[in-house]
Amino acid sequence: MDNENGAGELIINSTLDFSSAPGVQWLSANTDFTAGTVEYQTGNIYGDTYANLEINGATGTQNSNDATPVSTITVTGNLTKLGSTAFTSASSNPITVSGNYTNTAGDATYDGGLTVAGNATITAGNVGGTVTVSGGTLTMNGGSFNVSGGTLTLNNGSSNTINGSVASPIFNNLVFNIGTGSVTMNQPVTSVQVRGDFTLTGSGNVTNGEIIMNGSNPQAVLGLGSGTIQNFRIDNSSSAGVTLNRALSARGTLTLTNGRLNTSATNIMSCTGTSGGSLTAYVNGPLQIGQVGTATASYPKNYPVGYPVGDVNVYRPFQITTGPNENAVQRVQLINSSPLSANPTLGGGLSAISAFRYWELTDNTGNAAGTQAGDQVVLGYVLDPVDDGINNLSPYPLRVAACSTLGGEYSPYGGTNIASFLGVIGGGGVQSTTPLTADLRFYTLGSVNASDAPLPVELISFTGVSSRAGVVLSWETASERESAGFVINRRIVGIGSGEWQVIDDYTRNPNLRAKNSLNGAKYTYTDASDLPAGTVLEYRLDEVSFSGAIERLREVRVETRFSTVVTDFALEQNYPNPFNPTTSIPYQLKERAKVTLDIYNTLGQKVATVVDAVQERGNYAVNFNAASLASGMYFYRLTAQGASQTFVQTRKMMLLK
């Protein structure tokens, strides 16, 4: 080679003594590799400028040892990754390539970043780190960009193409930073799989193909601008699903295979049609369907138009079966709260409407009614478990109930049963038969059967918290009427069949009896079972009416943070403390014992006896109501006479009214 300009090829195939002049550092400091190719077959690649660079056994990078160290690896020609040896650049050594990048074999991770002005071709190996390709062409003939934490950015503001023999290449984080340009998938490429986050920035479009979000962890859609994609699929296996952090428009189909798509009024999903939808795959938030694109390049919807929508853990789809204008943009959201809270009236022979949820149908602004005159709709419902307040379907009682204002008059618009409807399990759909009017905005299930009146309890919340005393369940109702009380069900996740078991109910625990307040009430219950820390439990709250009808209200999952395995007698601190007027007093018994729990004032006078009974080994938490007592300090004393010992302990508590 010419030792002044580096013409020809320099192969570094052994470890050199970099402290001496004959080493690579001497070459780096005294030679400009302005032509030819440098091939590293071992060690680290040094910060310098190269015409063409081949990585064929090198494992990393480092700064040069010049008087002023060079950290950037600059390649004025092409960079090629050869050989099976894995390569990882240091975070302090960015690599910039003026030509093209090719990964023919082996994994390569660019923690310092790889910026390619030309095109990129992946033949084999997994490429990670931060990689930006600006040349406009990515060819995937093998391998992937699916390395944890890695991001590939296509950065050409004019035109980007994804080519190659891999029909559906895989990426971790994928960024299309395309300005006014485009991204096109050339056959046989029909889709890209994203295991991390997807970012679309600019006003340009993805002209064809499908973006598939199929990670196993929570994913997000990011970016800015008015750019659109063609088709979008949700196939996420995490409980959190995929969250839109920007508005996203698909000119084609939104497919829901698995997992939730979380949207909001500002970060809304728009498309021209949907596919799929089920209890485990739905849009959690508003969904907008209708024309996507400009007037000269519009993509209208096709009837019937399905809205596979839900709210948190509830799935209730909505469908517009026919309408007068396929270009009209219509937005639907399921609201999982009672429409009765707005005090509506019922007309047209309706006996009842749902006490649980309703749908809102608006235009693309979200501020006005979105119904078109002549529309027909289908509302999803569940009959078993009893969750929509429907007692029977014979004779068929259901109607589509709708009104223009939430607190207005709901009128029926007919109703015929759809036995199989958009993935609903244990129910179906009710379809309107009377043409709808353009002022209608709110929809809910209606019934002409008086027995389908709202169930007795409207639940606001149901939560569970692990404590040293056990799992504390709390729930609040908005209203109660003709309710006998509550039933606590529990199952241990991952053990046995996972069947629900009743652990307590209103017939044996007075604290679970309904208060039947029209203004609602608050309840707490402590599951003080003998459980080790780290146990995952699910609790279900049921309500039983005076007529015996059972309503399954809600479920909650809790992992125990503390062990409640009983090893000794103990009296724990009451909770809450201070309290007004009720508190829970936890204690544990290591064996069967005669138990008394007494309350004393500061003068030593007994003011109440909370427990006086023989109890078995286990954890206990009893509620004490001090409504009749004055504010101040009190003492509670536990006496437990067991076979092996008599246990006595006293603690303080403060009543503040």
| Residue 101 binned pLDDT confidence (cut-offs 50, 70, 90) | very high
**Both tokens assigned to 555:** 């479920």
Tokens of 247: 């508005």
Range in 2-6, 23-27, 449-453 with the lowest mean pLDDT: 2-6
Distances (CA, A) of 51 to 12, 153, 597, 627: 15, 24, 86, 86
Weakest mean pLDDT among 86-100, 112-126, 275-289, 342-356: 342-356
Question: C-alpha 203: how far from its chain's center?
Answer: 28
Q: Give the pLDDT score at 9.
A: 59
Q: Would you say 140 and 122 are in contact if contact means Cβ atoms under 8 Å apart?
A: yes
72-81 pLDDT, tens digit each: 999 999 999 9
- Position 495 scores a pLDDT of 59
Residue that wins the pLDDT comparison between 85 and 498: 85
Q: What would the two tokens of residue 523 be? A: 């309840």
Q: What was the pLDDT predicted at 27? A: 53
Residues facing residue 598 across a β-bridge: 609, 637
Give the residue-averaged pLDDT of 16-25.
Answer: 41
The closest alpha carbon to 506, from 517, 496, 515, 514, belongs to 514
Q: Which of 12-26, 275-289, 323-337, 464-478 has the least mean pLDDT?
A: 12-26
Closest to 320 measured CA to CA, from 280, 287, 367: 287
Q: Are 621 and 582 in contact (CB under 8 A)?
A: no
Report the 10 Å Cβ neighbour count for 646: 11
Could you tell me which residues come within 8 angstroms of residue 36 by beta carbon, excluding any fewer than 6 positions away? 1, 6, 7, 8, 9, 10, 51, 52
Q: For 605, what's the count of Cα atoms within 13 Å in the CB-facing half-sphere?
A: 4
Domains annotated for the chain, with CATH where assigned, are 334-454 (no CATH), 457-559 (2.60.40.10), 570-655 (2.60.40.2550)
Report pLDDT digits (tens) over 87-96: 999 999 999 9
Least confident of 25-29, 344-348, 497-501: 25-29
Q: Give the span between the Cα atoms of 167 and 219, in whole angstroms.
A: 23
d(CA 306, CA 191): 23
Three-state DSSP class for 412?
Answer: strand
Alpha carbon 497 to its chain centroid, in Å, reads: 26
Whether the CB-CB separation of 283 and 307 falls below 8 Å is answered with yes
SS3 content of the chain, % helix, strand, coil (to 5): 5, 50, 50
Q: What is the largest CA-CA distance in the chain?
A: 105
Share of the chain above pLDDT 90, in %: 68
In terms of pTM, does the model score above 0.95? no
**Burial bucket for residue 419 (CB in 10 Å: 0-12, 13-18, 19+):** exposed
- Please give the pLDDT value at position 5: 44
Separation CA 368–CA 52 (nearest Å): 61
The predicted model gives 546-554 an average pLDDT of: 79
Q: What order of strands is seen across the sheet that includes strand 582-589?
A: 570-571, 582-589, 618-625
Does the structure show a pLDDT above 50 at 4?
no
Q: Is the pLDDT of residue 600 over 90?
A: yes
Quote the CA–CA distance of 598 and 609 in Å, as a whole number: 4
Has residue 319 got a pLDDT over 50?
yes
